[in-house]
Structure 1
Amino acid sequence: MSRLAPPEAPLSALQKALRFHWGVLLLICAVASIGFLMLYSVAGGDLDPWASRQITRFGIGIALMIVVAMIHIRIWRALSPLAYLGSMGLLVLVEVMGATGMGATRWIDLGFIQLQPSELMKIALVLALARYYDWLGEGKASRPLWLIPPILLILAPMALVLKQPDLGTALLLGLGGAAVMWLAGVHWLYFATAAASAAALVYAVLESRGTDWQLIKDYQFRRIETFLDPESDPLGAGYHITQSKIAFGSGGISGRGFMQGTQTRLNFLPEKHTDFIFTTLAEEFGFVGASALLILYALIVLFCTVSMLRNRDRFGALTTGGLTMTFFLFFAVNMAMVTGLAPVVGVPLPLVSYGGSAMMVLLIAFGFVQSAHIHRPRS
């Protein structure tokens, strides 16, 4: 990958369309269609209130993805600092006039949509870090002095998101930022040190419970306890994951059938249209259906990774790699969460869970991936 690829002749709209990664688009549509189907199911065989809105948002999101893709990646490179600063400003605005829901202040009410600035920051952070390492070049990535700016770029939004509070998104920001640093060539010893520090932080968090310097909220401690022993409070903090496991088990190999899931139909499963929608899929279509969705996700990651490896433009490659890793973390964390392999941290299933901001922002992210793919150097 070159630091900045030499300019090429401008592409026509037809040439850009021919270079468009249609395989990724088809896979995205396939995953989203599964989401529409499940939202129709959890509503009892009705497009309202969730599926119809999700389809509309998906259509708008696809249009935005195409618009973003058709704009040259160098323009997005130039705008990346503004995107980061704008997202930071919106995170600060959440503290001032944010809308509160389910005990958290994470949204800005725009009337037609509840905007969640932390979702925008997932893209803006990747773009800002890719721009930084593109400017820095490959030889200086592991020098201690040059590690300070990217670390600050990552920690600043994480701190604001943790205040909302939103531990899941904060972790995704940190891991997504770390992925860009790793792809940029930062030495693995730094990540080993960070992992050891994280382990020490976890210990400090656990030791802080009940003290004047308690580091996380009480409900987050209950989530940790539930993760370690869901049966300790099956009707309280452990209710979500207990019902999720029951639904998974009842699905078996081929599932109970479309709209035949008892945990979903009888409303035993909370958040069945958002964070726990994968459980609904597993109950109705079993191991086969769950595996099919996982394969679609894996193919999207594979196609985007191949595009990254073939891109000789450093900014485009880092942007593609960082956004691909962010997408991977989305579905990996959600699936681990609803199967009891990770604590419940409120991460939606990408392109499947109901949600406006997450759907739109994710499709815009794929627009950047497509822009890098379309405009990558060919000579």
Structure 2
Amino acid sequence: MRINERRSLWRRAKPYLLVFDAPLAMVIFLLLGTSLVTMYSAGADFPGRIEGQLRNMMIAFVVMWLAAQVPPQTLMRLAVPIYTVGVTLLIAVFLFGVIKKGARRWLHIGFDIQPSEIMKIAMPLMLAWYFHQKAGLVRWHSFIIATVLLAVPVGLIQLQPDLGTSLLVLASGFYVIFLAGLSWKALIGLFVAGAASLPVAWSLMHDYQRERVMTLIDPNADPLGKGFHIIQSVIAIGSGGLSGKGWMKGTQAHLEFIPERTTDFIFSVFAEEFGLMGFLGLLLLYLLLIGRGLMIAANAPTLFARLLAGAITMIFFTYAFVNMSMVSGILPVVGVPLPFMSYGGTAFVTLGLGAGILMSIQRHRKLVQT
């Protein structure tokens, strides 16, 4: 009798415990392991940094597990409320947010929160819901409405100012619009319009943002000032050679030439110590992560799930591409972390939530099939 009770208890608990998609979880755990190894070296002069990274990983794991339990149908019902709350909080930040380091990005509600992080997931949720409602009835004006829904939070975030987050939210929404059937003609038109508006965008930029662009174009113009950090980052990446200088032996990192080496510039530390071979291994992990996400999107049973899974996967791609390009001197420094590698609680929670949603879509597709 007790054996039957134990079996019955396991059968009841099994659906709640075995919720992870094995291929996706394996890639994420390998990235997390790589992060810990790199963080141990990069954070050697930062007491408590490795413990903090472990804490962030545990929180992200719990968030991922919880998100994997939520059916896509429930996510679809929550899309509009989450988007509405997110935009409301952004307006509240604009009106009476907390200013730190010259930027108004936080809202104090007993503790400080950064509402713009919510929009990284709320934006694709909202647009995926919108196009799901328009399934089979998408017209040119549907894309205009979707663009307005995207422009409102992006504009509010840019006013804070927070260029990095606004670009990530813009990308997350654009991916949904593109996957929903935006024509190539319209895409080319948007590209031309964007190029034509560059002078206006330049005039609207803050001084420090213009300085970042000019530093990207010619970092050697001020090698001991504004160009110092990116020059040292490029030196670190190039000095790694084929096999790297060895773990804990990166001179640029341990002599403190690399800025923000545990957060935005952690890739510079990794490339210096593990070289081209390490970079190719890390690149392979990101390609596997993106490939598995696209497979989940392609096999999703509903338009909402396909659009959401595709957008979240491309967000992972955007994080990795922008960060690696940024620290390599290809793109301006905009404060985008390397996914599942850089230190940071908020970014880990957002990434864990995104991964959990992908696992939920895959899990509930299997449940429907069985």
Q: Same fold (TM over 0.5)?
A: yes
Q: What is the CA–CA distance in structure 2 between the aligned matches of 1:326 and 1:62, rounded to whole Å?
A: 19
One-letter identity of the residue aligned with 2:208: Y
Q: What is the CA–CA distance in structure 1 between the aligned matches of 2:13 and 2:191, rounded to whole Å?
A: 46
Q: Offset at 1:332?
A: 0.5
Q: Which residue pairs with 1:70 in the alignment?
A: 69
Picking from 305, 315, 336, the partner of 1:326 is: 315
Q: Offset at 1:149?
A: 2.0
The Cα offsets for residues 232-276 of structure 1, whole Å up to 9 and x where unpaired, read as 111122112101111012111111111111111111111111111
3-state SS of 1:320 partner: helix
3-state SS of 1:351 partner: coil
- Structure 2 runs not aligned, ≥5 long: 1-10
One-letter identity of the residue aligned with 1:37: V
Question: Comparing 180-189 with 242-251, which one deviates more in the overlay?
Answer: 180-189
Q: What is the CA–CA distance in structure 2 between the aligned matches of 1:110 and 1:263, rounded to whole Å?
A: 40
1:16/1:374 contact within 8 Å kept: no
Q: What is the CA–CA distance in structure 2 between the aligned matches of 1:374 and 1:50, rounded to whole Å?
A: 34
Picking from 209, 219, 227, the partner of 1:230 is: 219
One-letter identity of the residue aligned with 2:369: R
1:250 equivalent to 2:239? Answer yes
One-letter identity of the residue aligned with 2:229: H
1:45/1:259 contact within 8 Å kept: no
Q: What is the CA–CA distance in structure 2 between the aligned matches of 1:149 and 1:82, rounded to whole Å?
A: 18
The Cα offsets for residues 15-65 of structure 1, whole Å up to 9 and x where unpaired, read as 46556311111211211222222222122277x332211211211211121
Relative distance call for 1:82 and 1:348 in structure 2 (3 A) is: same
Q: How does 1:32-181 map to 2 (within 5 A)?
A: 32-44=32-44, 48-108=47-107, 115-137=113-135, 139-141=136-138, 143-181=139-177
Equivalent pairs, count? 358
Q: What is the CA–CA distance in structure 2 between the aligned matches of 1:72 and 1:205, rounded to whole Å?
A: 41
Q: What is the CA–CA distance in structure 1 between the aligned matches of 2:142 and 2:361, rounded to whole Å?
A: 25
- Structure 1 runs not aligned, ≥5 long: 1-10, 207-213
Q: How does 1:272-283 map to 2 (within 5 A)?
A: 272-283=261-272
3-state SS of 2:197 partner: helix
Q: Offset at 1:288?
A: 1.3
Q: Offset at 1:111?
A: 6.8
Q: What is the CA–CA distance in structure 1 between the aligned matches of 2:87 and 2:290, rounded to whole Å?
A: 28
The Cα offsets for residues 153-207 of structure 1, whole Å up to 9 and x where unpaired, read as 110111011111111221222222111111111222221111111111213334x
Structure with more helix by fraction: 2
Relative distance call for 1:21 and 1:339 in structure 2 (3 A) is: same
1:115/1:357 contact within 8 Å kept: no
Picking from 198, 202, 210, the partner of 2:198 is: 202
2:19/2:65 contact within 8 Å kept: no
Q: CA RMSD in A?
A: 1.9
Relative distance call for 1:205 and 1:20 in structure 2 (3 A) is: closer
3-state SS of 1:182 partner: helix
1:19/1:373 contact within 8 Å kept: no
Q: Which residue pairs with 2:259 in the alignment?
A: 270
3-state SS of 2:161 partner: coil
Relative distance call for 1:16 and 1:188 in structure 2 (3 A) is: farther
Relative distance call for 1:218 and 1:235 in structure 2 (3 A) is: same
Relative distance call for 1:12 and 1:155 in structure 2 (3 A) is: farther
Q: Offset at 1:140?
A: 3.1
Relative distance call for 1:294 and 1:161 in structure 2 (3 A) is: same
Relative distance call for 1:196 and 1:12 in structure 2 (3 A) is: farther
Q: What is the CA–CA distance in structure 2 between the aligned matches of 1:308 and 1:336, rounded to whole Å?
A: 26
Q: What is the CA–CA distance in structure 2 between the aligned matches of 1:97 and 1:282, rounded to whole Å?
A: 42
Picking from 241, 245, 248, the partner of 1:259 is: 248
Q: What is the CA–CA distance in structure 1 between the aligned matches of 2:364 and 2:188, rounded to whole Å?
A: 35
TM-score (norm 1): 0.89
Q: What is the CA–CA distance in structure 2 between the aligned matches of 1:140 and 1:194, rounded to whole Å?
A: 22
1:182/1:188 contact within 8 Å kept: no
TM-score (norm 2): 0.91
